[in-house]
Amino acid sequence: MAFQLTAIFILLAFYGCYFWKMLLQRKKGIQTNQIGKGKTGFVKRIEVVMKIATLLVPAAEAVSIILNRSRLPLWARAVGVLLGVLGVAVFVCAVFTMRDSWRAGVSETDKTELVTSGIYQISRNPAFLGFDLVYIGILLMFFNWVLFAVSVFAMLTLHLQIVNVEEDFLVRTFGQAYIDYRKKVCRYFGRKLKGGNIK
């Protein structure tokens, strides 16, 4: 029961932040959800598949939480709690640091800022990192093979979104400023050593 209540709290905090931020931006006339909108070809396919994957995960998580079974030992489930809570904290920091530049998906028409302060000093994609940590955390808490497959698939689509959509968009939009930032900060976590090649 403790793992179920903790997981519910993690998911409510995580998705609550997501939808609350969307609501706040909507009140300002900002369309936050840009996934698949105004795109064509490969980029649209990546964003649509990512959207489907990220809708499947909460459904699989909800069923797993209700069943409350895990093939993993207690210590692994406890690690899952820590990762899930860390994921929420990372995601909340990312969303609030981005202020009104935050979008779900890229927008070719909205004018946004390149944010490199706060948590973005140690991760170029902390919101995506937050998603991954929450997915891994819930997976460890309620491990089953269906949840594993759906979670890995969603994390893969999020990575493809970063590599094939977001990074290209940021280079086009912010040019050298983003390229210089990318040379200093790792894609998911950490700062690069001078002359380092870590993505």
Higher-confidence position of 67 and 21: 67
Give the mean model confidence (pLDDT) for residues 71-87. 96
Dmax of the chain from CA atoms?
Answer: 51
CA of residue 17 relative to chain centroid, distance = 12
At residue 106 the predicted structure's pLDDT band, cuts being 50, 70 and 90, is low
Give the ranges where the chain is alpha helix by DSSP (H). 2-27, 41-67, 74-98, 126-141, 145-161, 167-174, 176-184
User: Residue 91: pLDDT above 70?
Assistant: yes
- Please tell me the pTM assigned to this model: 0.88
At residue 12 the predicted structure's pLDDT band, cuts being 50, 70 and 90, is very high
- Show me where the domains of the chain are located: 2-184
CATH 3.40.50.720 fits 2-184, yes or no: no
- Please enumerate in sequence order all residues whose Cβ is within 8 A of that of 76, keeping only pairs 6 or more positions apart, or say none: 70, 140, 143
